Structure 1
Amino acid sequence: MKPQRLPIFSSLSLLLLLLLVLVVLVPFAKPDLSSDRAALLALRKAVGGRTLLWNATLQSPCNWAGVRCENNRVAVLRLPGVALSGNLPNGIFGNLTVLRTLSLRLNALKGSLPSDLASCVGLRNLYLQGNFFSGEIPDFLFTLRDLVRLNLASNNFSGEISPSLNNLTRLRTLYVENNQLSGSIPELKLPDLAQFNVSNNLLNGSIPAKLQTFSSASFVGNSLCGKPLSLCPGNNVTIPSGEVNINGNGKGKGLSGGVIAGIVIGCVVAALAIIILLIVFCRKKRIQKTSSVDVAALKHPESEARGEKPAETENGRHNSNNNGFSVASAAAAAMAGNGKTEVSNNGVDGVKKLVFFGNAARVFDLEDLLRASAEVLGKGTFGTAYKAVLEVGTVVAVKRLKDVTISDKEFKEKIEAVGAMDHQNLVPLRAFYYSRDEKLLVYDYMPMGSLSALLHGNKGAGRTPLNWEIRSGIALGAARGIQYLHSQGPNVSHGNIKSSNILLTKSYTSRVSDFGLAHLVGPSSTPNRVAGYRAPEVTDPRKVSQKADVYSFGVLLLELLTGKPPTHALLNEEGVDLPRWVQSIVKEEWTSEVFDLELLRYQNVEEEMVQMLQLAIDCAAQYPDKRPTMSEVTSRIEELCRSSLREDPHPDLVKEAD
């Protein structure tokens, strides 16, 4: 008897059942943390660098250097500058499917990008600059629709820039400079694009209209034309055909000689008229000028001696001429020639004079100040500052306040409180001048300028490196000055702590400036004054608590240790502030990579540097109640400095007279 065959529908039923099982089970077979771990180990094996010292005995990769997990999956992989080399193989990123940030910048990786990177559909930040990747920019990148920052700069990518970039509607940063890209720039319609650079490629053609708002630095090193570069050929104004030309035949495109002569004469007459009007206007302006100490008119600013924003010439370079332009030439009419600006002994009405504080030496008066030679120091948060050298040889710093909104009486009360502050680590306020239109403050002049200028200024061959003794001494002096301010009452704070407000004597003694001024000015002076230093809980920059001061001081310490300002371009590119950047590096156990290279040469103080770093992190804690007081901060820095002296009884800090 022949065996009976199963009906064909039975076979189909079994097949459908099998497919159903697969559909149900496949979603539960997604990669998990163990597959993430395997992928990272495969990456280390393929391109292992000098610092990929991951402890493979740990079951969880979340504690490995450069790895950060969220919801028990690897979400961030940062391996910048760790000497990775070779090609990125396929089969790794297909398991890291929840990756949000990938940073492999400043390594020696080469070849094309692995195609399974397309599996990281939630990728937001991709930093691959500073490698040797080659080939065309792969199309699969344009399927990662959550990308916000894409940096492919300084590689060997070639081919054209694809218009498929428009698929990345959330893109804010696109850097592809220093590659070998060719062709024209496509029309990019990316509504959030804020950072863009295609310089130093092989691009040609005109710059699309929507990209012409970026600076010329974003396009140089190509054969491009159009704003912000030079106009493209054919965009110049032309005379329509049929106009009279110089041959007189009425059919050319040129102008006749008579028309040209008329245009030239008309232009000359118009230019002379404009010059005459300008001369008359300037004379009238000079006569009517009664109440403005326009420090910008002092045409000889020195470089950033106080860390404030220096005046700039039209070409953007700082003018360093010091020809001693007289203060009176710009300020006499404003302060001495108008009865409306007269000031009395109590600063309200009557005789014009400077009001001195305490036992300050009265070796000059208002007229002496007006006759002094002056050099602009810069424009700061609360006004313009300049250096004044008086005939008797005294040198002072004068700040002209702006946007003062309080009454005469309230100003006098508040400024007298500032003048009463007396501490060796504060810049002393010696005198003030008050009128309805002008408010001037006279301080001691600090010859070494600001900490900001010292840290971020000229780093050429002639620059003296800032060693640990100098930096820790600056930190201690600043801490003592701020602690003194806080000791004056629970509601007394600085409100504007930043490196440009830490000034230095010749012996590198730090003195805190601009204290007590936050309550004198209106809101227009405050919004951008502490970018990167402001505590997260501060909503009104005119009302800053002592714990918010501690946060700002913590950022200042991080700036001292890392050499990076809070507004550093690299930090902005990666979307983090200085405290969070440092915390991420420390968490990844790369603490040595945080410190300024100038500090790393001092091997015998590594422990003190790490302790100072921890103090800075404590000060910059997210929540105010987690931060120490300035008294505690000062004590910890004092102990660190004592420890350093025990390690090195002969510090190389040269002491000079202030």
Structure 2
Amino acid sequence: MELSGIIDVDTLFELSNLTSFSVIGNNFEGPMPEFKKIVWLKALFLSNNRFSGEIDDDAFEGMRRLKKVHLAENEFFGYIPKSIAELPKLLELDLSGNIFQGLIPQFHQKNLNFNVFDLSNNQLEGMIPESLINQDPSSFAGNKYLCGKPLTKSCNATPNVTFEFPSPRPKPNRHTLIIVITVAVIVVASILAVLFIRGRRPIKSSKKLIKTTLHTNQSAYNTSGAQSIVILTNDLNKEENGELNFVREDRRNSFDLQGLLRASAEVLGSGSFGSTYKAMVLNNNSGKEEAMVVKRFRLMNNVGKHEFYEHMRRLGSLSHPNLLPLVAFHYRKQDKFLVYDFGENGSLATHLHGRNNGCMLRWPTRLKIIKGVARGLAYLYTQFPNQRLPHGHLKSSNVILDVEFEPRLTEYGLIPVMNKSHALKFMAAYKSPESSHRTNAATEKTDVWCLGILILEVLTGRFPANYLSHGGENNADLASWVNTVVREEWSGEVFDEGIMGIRNNNNGSEGEMLKLLRIGMCCCEWDLESRWDWREALEKIEEVKENNNEITRDYDDNNSNNSYSYVSDGDLYSKATSFTNDDFSFPLTGNS
């Protein structure tokens, strides 16, 4: 069913009769969910998804009824958790097609007559435990460093090797020594020649589907938590090269593809388009490590290679304080990798909906973020005047905050290169009212609708539930909720608790918050004729102040002679006469 998102184990825990859980063949990503909370589970099927990461050793601890565990064809790495090998009733185990490493643990079940047992196509190594020597050899295929029965490959040494000093040997005579030195020189010279020839050839990439994984050095991971991005490639293709294509001249050749792939990295998140990593890359020019964001896009085959290159260069030419700059990209037929600068404070969504639930974002900071977002969006409108959706995916998780909490938009301008069917299901612009009845009629005001939803999200702290729906079935849940609360009286009842601390100081900021709330509603108008365009939205947002007595700046992105003036609480909303949806409507007036 192409399901994705978060598997809420806590909700599943409430289903006391749940004994089998299967999401085989979907699009779930991220780490292994904590299924061990559901101790009565008998069968778990997660195969053919995009789960990744290391599975904790105790991930299956206490699941004494579990009989079937199918995790095949994901991107799990690290050691096979010992708690799997200790499941007392295990009858089926399929871990094939992952990147599990290290030794196979000892299986301690009393009866080892598995109905299904498959560890093939991983990176396991060492001697197969004696308890598994009666399994079919195909269960271990594709692990080239495994040895021992039932495989035909014998082990030259046990996994736990002890080293001893060798006993003294007689000194070689002069003739033998000359032969040894000559052979060594020839071998070294041959190796250098091969490396020189290979170094002059272009690096070629995979002809097959490329699987991006996190390849972990186990000892390093346990001490530092560092991970490395590795692209597994097979079957070199003459048509493609392994270059990192820089789109900004000032960053050209600051690092290369191999340097990026070797960099220590961590997963920042997974979404409907792919995964996002933070990579610490060594800058060849400065000699210092710098943080970069690597976004992997799986479904970006809407255009050919030449058109894709041209569009990426156009995105790379954009320059604005409120855009996260695109630095480079890597092209493959099945996967595209975009490299951006790093925002030190993470995404706006994390601050609004993370552990702190936005409580650290006070009103001045939220206002600064909204103004920056509006300026960045307005810039995109000027740079893509003929494109209906200059951003296309504006939402809180695509607003990155720098060290000063200045917002930077990301994933902008990608509509022309996205697969249309995937864009219709997942991109924020296609959750708008005009796209809600499978008409897909995005307009030049659709990005403004996304801006309005973002304003309401920032003020209320509520996540827009309509973004979770896939395909045209949509209703403006967040806007409707705000409408329901304030339609009788415009009050601060809807505001997030994190904003309330400032509002309760009675310093005149509540009126400014209400102004911004009305602006958000005008940007979310279901009626396109009444919905503001980007120019009017930017103008009104710039007029909002931290409090009623603040001197505000008349902002002009292209004018150095900006003026300052007092802004009154006049008839700010004379143009928008009403807010409507399927159920109700009410008038908007300047003093309502």
TM-score by length of 1: 0.50
Structure 2: how far apart are the matches of 1:426 and 1:473? Answer: 15
Structure 2: how far apart are the matches of 1:610 and 1:279? Answer: 64
Post-superposition Cα deviations, 1:70-105, rounded to whole Å, max 9, x if no partner, equal xxxxxxxxxxxxxxxxxxxxxxxxxxxxxxxxxxxx
Which residue number corresponds to residue 233 of structure 2? 334
Change (3 A) 1:374 1:356: same
Structure 1: how far apart are the matches of 2:461 and 2:223? Answer: 29
Which residue number corresponds to residue 450 of structure 2? 552
Which residue number corresponds to residue 597 of structure 1? 497
Q: 1:403 aligns with which of 295, 299, 303?
A: 299
Does residue 455 (structure 1) correspond to residue 346 (structure 2)? The answer is no
Does residue 445 (structure 1) correspond to residue 342 (structure 2)? The answer is yes
Higher strand share: 2
Q: 1:372 aligns with which of 263, 272, 278?
A: 263
Q: Residues 453 and 464 of structure 2 are in contact (CA less than 8 Å); yes or no, is this contact kept in structure 1?
A: yes
Q: Residues 400 and 440 of structure 1 are in contact (CA less than 8 Å); yes or no, is this contact kept in structure 2?
A: yes
Segments of structure 2 that go 5 or more residues without pairing to the other structure are: 1-10, 24-33, 45-64, 68-108, 115-128, 147-204, 283-287, 470-474, 554-592
Structure 2: how far apart are the matches of 1:197 and 1:265? Answer: 30
Structure 1: how far apart are the matches of 2:341 and 2:351? Answer: 19
Structure 2: how far apart are the matches of 1:440 and 1:512? Answer: 18
Change (3 A) 1:422 1:226: closer
Q: 1:297 aligns with which of 214, 235, 239?
A: 214
Kindly state the Cα deviation for residue 289 of structure 1 after the two structures are TM-superposed: 7.8
Which residue number corresponds to residue 49 of structure 2? none
Q: Secondary structure at the match of 1:297?
A: strand
What pairs with 1:201-220 in structure 2 (closer than 5 Å)? none
Post-superposition Cα deviations, 1:386-434, rounded to whole Å, max 9, x if no partner, equal 1111133021111122122221122122222211221110111111122
Kindly state the Cα deviation for residue 446 of structure 1 after the two structures are TM-superposed: 1.0
Q: Residues 389 and 396 of structure 1 are in contact (CA less than 8 Å); yes or no, is this contact kept in structure 2?
A: yes
Change (3 A) 1:197 1:430: closer
Structure 1: how far apart are the matches of 2:223 and 2:423? Answer: 31
Q: Residues 497 and 552 of structure 1 are in contact (CA less than 8 Å); yes or no, is this contact kept in structure 2?
A: yes
Change (3 A) 1:199 1:563: same
Change (3 A) 1:278 1:424: farther
Structure 2: how far apart are the matches of 1:533 and 1:583? Answer: 21
Structure 1: how far apart are the matches of 2:212 and 2:206? Answer: 14
Post-superposition Cα deviations, 1:496-524, rounded to whole Å, max 9, x if no partner, equal 11110011101000011001112212135
Kindly state the Cα deviation for residue 451 of structure 1 after the two structures are TM-superposed: 0.5
Kindly state the Cα deviation for residue 598 of structure 1 after the two structures are TM-superposed: 1.6
TM-score by length of 2: 0.55
Which residue number corresponds to residue 377 of structure 2? 482
Q: Secondary structure at the match of 2:415?
A: coil
Q: Residues 341 and 436 of structure 1 are in contact (CA less than 8 Å); yes or no, is this contact kept in structure 2?
A: no
Q: Residues 263 and 281 of structure 2 are in contact (CA less than 8 Å); yes or no, is this contact kept in structure 1?
A: yes
Structure 2: how far apart are the matches of 1:582 and 1:529? Answer: 24
Higher helix share: 1
Structure 1: how far apart are the matches of 2:250 and 2:331? Answer: 20
Structure 2: how far apart are the matches of 1:341 and 1:326? Answer: 27
Change (3 A) 1:531 1:487: closer
Structure 2: how far apart are the matches of 1:376 and 1:208? Answer: 31
Q: Secondary structure at the match of 2:289?
A: coil
Structure 1: how far apart are the matches of 2:440 and 2:476? Answer: 25
Larger Rg: 1
What pairs with 1:83-122 in structure 2 (closer than 5 Å)? none
Q: 2:478 aligns with which of 578, 584, 594?
A: 578
Which residue number corresponds to residue 227 of structure 2? 325
Q: Secondary structure at the match of 1:519?
A: helix
Post-superposition Cα deviations, 1:467-488, rounded to whole Å, max 9, x if no partner, equal 1110000000000000000112
Structure 2: how far apart are the matches of 1:625 and 1:471? Answer: 28
Which residue number corresponds to residue 405 of structure 2? 508
Does residue 637 (structure 1) correspond to residue 517 (structure 2)? The answer is no
Kindly state the Cα deviation for residue 464 of structure 1 after the two structures are TM-superposed: 5.9
The number of aligned residues is 381
Structure 2: how far apart are the matches of 1:372 and 1:644? Answer: 49
Which residue number corresponds to residue 394 of structure 1? 290
Q: Secondary structure at the match of 1:403?
A: coil
What pairs with 1:342-353 in structure 2 (closer than 5 Å)? 342-343=240-241, 352-353=243-244
Letter in 2 for 1:403: L
Q: Secondary structure at the match of 2:142?
A: helix
Change (3 A) 1:198 1:424: closer
Percent identity between the aligned chains? 30
Q: Secondary structure at the match of 1:395?
A: strand
Structure 2: how far apart are the matches of 1:579 and 1:208? Answer: 36
Does residue 617 (structure 1) correspond to residue 531 (structure 2)? The answer is no
Letter in 2 for 1:447: E
Q: Please provide the CA RMSD for this pair.
A: 4.7
What pairs with 1:119-518 in structure 2 (closer than 5 Å)? 264=111, 271-274=132-135, 277-283=138-144, 294-298=211-215, 323-327=225-229, 330-331=230-231, 333-334=232-233, 338-340=236-238, 342-343=240-241, 352-391=243-282, 392-405=288-301, 406-459=303-356, 465-488=360-383, 489-492=385-388, 493-518=390-415
Kindly state the Cα deviation for residue 531 of structure 1 after the two structures are TM-superposed: 6.2
Structure 1: how far apart are the matches of 2:262 and 2:379? Answer: 36
Change (3 A) 1:599 1:501: same
Segments of structure 1 that go 5 or more residues without pairing to the other structure are: 1-195, 201-205, 230-234, 238-261, 301-318, 344-350, 650-658
Post-superposition Cα deviations, 1:320-366, rounded to whole Å, max 9, x if no partner, equal 99632233xx22x439x8344633xxxxxxx7343333433531122
Which residue number corresponds to residue 3 of structure 2? none
Q: Residues 374 and 538 of structure 2 are in contact (CA less than 8 Å); yes or no, is this contact kept in structure 1?
A: yes
Letter in 2 for 1:537: E
